[in-house]
Amino acid sequence: MYEASALYSGGTMDAARLVLSGEYDTAFNVAGGLHHAMANRAAGFCTFNDLAMGIYELLRTVDRVAYIDIDVHHGDGVQALFYDDPRVMTISLHESGRYLFPGTGFPDETGEGDAAGTSINVPFYPYTTDEIWHEAFDAVVPEALERFAPDALVVQLGADAHWDDPLAHLMLTSQGWMAAIDKLLALGASKPVVVTGGGGYNLRTVARLWTMVQARCAGAQLPDSVPAAYDAMYNIPRLHDAPEATPRVEDAVLREARAYAREQVALLHAALR
Ligand SMILES: [Zn+2]
């Protein structure tokens, strides 16, 4: 475990060095993103917090780093490590801690001391769909980044907010999830951006989503179809979800999820005021 953890941590530190070198705009460490690890203990499948190590590596050269986490679980370890550090803004969009591990990540967790206002949390109700998720993202993330004016970004792209993840209950499609990646990369345009993986427990989905991230970071266009031999072996016929595959969420649940997201965004804006 020590060797594997040191390897993924070094990967994120290398990614930070690569984007600081100016040679690359983005660097993707698919094995990184272990956001639950604390300074003095492992937690939630995470031994070392590579994200914090990558952020510290960036801070050797730049003044301000923004961390954005779209994993379905709250990015509690990264938040805790920089909760009182005004050089780092942490933003986490996740399924509410009322329903899911680690049980934290509410709008009133906004940072402390000089760092007040640099910890941002958007919790979602179970069965939140693309439209509701993106409405909250648009209401919070661009404005927060504009206010903080970071020099570099670290983004954690857990694949577990996808609807078929067995550990959580959000309903993002591959199309909705990749739309978030597009927005994040656009917000980081002209800045160094470190990209990592994160959680993801349906391995067929993880392979699809992170393949698309890799291509997007490299500026490559991939066809949606997957080579037949690979499909035969892993039963992955295409990269994106088939539209008919996504389960429908009942209207009453959708109303609940939309109202919850809007309430949490309002609470966040009030807490930051
Ligand atoms: Zn997760």
Q: Is residue 73 annotated as part of the catalytic site, yes or no?
A: no
Q: Do 123 and 97 touch, CB atoms closer than 8 A?
A: yes
CA of 35 to the centre of ligand 1 (A): 8
What is the reported pLDDT for 147? 98
CA of 198 to the centre of ligand 1 (A): 6
3-state secondary structure of 220: coil
CA of 167 to the centre of ligand 1 (A): 8
Q: Is the whole model's pTM more than 0.85, yes or no?
A: yes
Q: Kindly list the averaged pLDDT for each block of 10 residues, start to end, along the chain of length 273.
A: 97 98 96 98 97 98 98 98 98 98 98 98 98 98 98 98 98 98 97 98 96 96 94 94 92 98 98 95
For residue 162, the 8-state DSSP code is B
d(CA 86, CA 70): 21
What is the reported pLDDT for 225? 95
What are the C-alpha distances in Å from 87 to residues 40, 42, 67, 161, 218? 21, 24, 11, 28, 28
CA of 58 to the centre of ligand 1 (A): 24
Catalytic residue among 35, 36, 94, 162: 36
CA of 272 to the centre of ligand 1 (A): 26
Q: How many CA atoms are closer than 13 Å to the CA of 149, on its beta-carbon side?
A: 2
What is the reported pLDDT for 243? 85
Domain 2-272 fold:
Arginase; Chain A (3.40.800)
What are the residue boundaries of the structural domains of the chain, listed by start? 2-272
Query: To the nearest 5 percent, what fractions of the chain are helix, strand and coil?
Result: 45, 15, 40
Q: Do 37 and 205 touch, CB atoms closer than 8 A?
A: no
d(CA 81, CA 135): 28
Taken as a whole, the chain contains a residue count of 273
d(CA 57, CA 36): 19
What is the reported pLDDT for 166? 98
